[in-house]
Amino acid sequence: MTARRRVCITGIGIVSPLGNCRESSWHNVVAGRSAAGPITRFDASTWPTQFACEVSQEFSLEEDALLPQHLPILNHAAQFGVMAAKEAMADAAFEVPLPPERLGVCMGAGIGAIQPLQLATILSSMGKLNPEQQARCAQLAEEEMKGLLLRNHPATLGSILAARWGAQGPVNTIHTACASSGQSLGQALMHVRRGDADVILAGGADSLASELLLAGFCLLGALSTRNDDPQGASRPFDKDRDGFVAGEGAAMLIVEEKDHALRRGAKIYCEFAGYGETESAYRITDLPENGRGCVEAMHGAVLDGGIDHGEVDYINAHGTSTELNDRVEALSVRRVFGARGVNPFVSSTKSEIGHLISAAGAMEAAFCALAIRDGAVPPTRNLSRTDCGEDINFVAGESRKFPVRAALSNSIGFGGSNSVVALKRDI
Q: Which has the closest alpha carbon to 52: 327, 347, 350?
A: 350
C-alpha distances (whole Å) from 25 to each of 83, 171, 273 are 14, 27, 24
Phi and psi angles of residue 135, each rounded to the nearest 5 degrees, phi first:
-65, -45
| C-alpha–C-alpha distance, residues 141 and 143, integer Å | 5
Helical H runs in 375-427? none
Residue-wise burial string across 374-393, b where 16 or more C-beta atoms lie within 10 A, e elsewhere: eebbbbbbbbeebebeeebb
Helical H runs in 105-238? 116-124, 131-152, 156-165, 180-193, 211-220
| C-alpha–C-alpha distance, residues 264 and 210, integer Å | 42
How many C-beta atoms lie closer than 10 Å to residue 137's C-beta? 17
Beta strand pairing call for 171-174 and 103-109:
parallel
| Residues with catalytic function | 178, 318, 355
For the chain, the residue count is 427
Helices and strands (DSSP H and E) totals, the chain: 12, 15
Task: Look at the alpha carbons of 85, 86, 91, 94 in this order and tell me if their dihedral is positive or negative.
Answer: positive
| C-alpha–C-alpha distance, residues 17 and 208, integer Å | 12
List of E strands, 179-235: 199-207
Is the CB of residue 81 less than 8 Å from the CB of residue 252?
A: yes
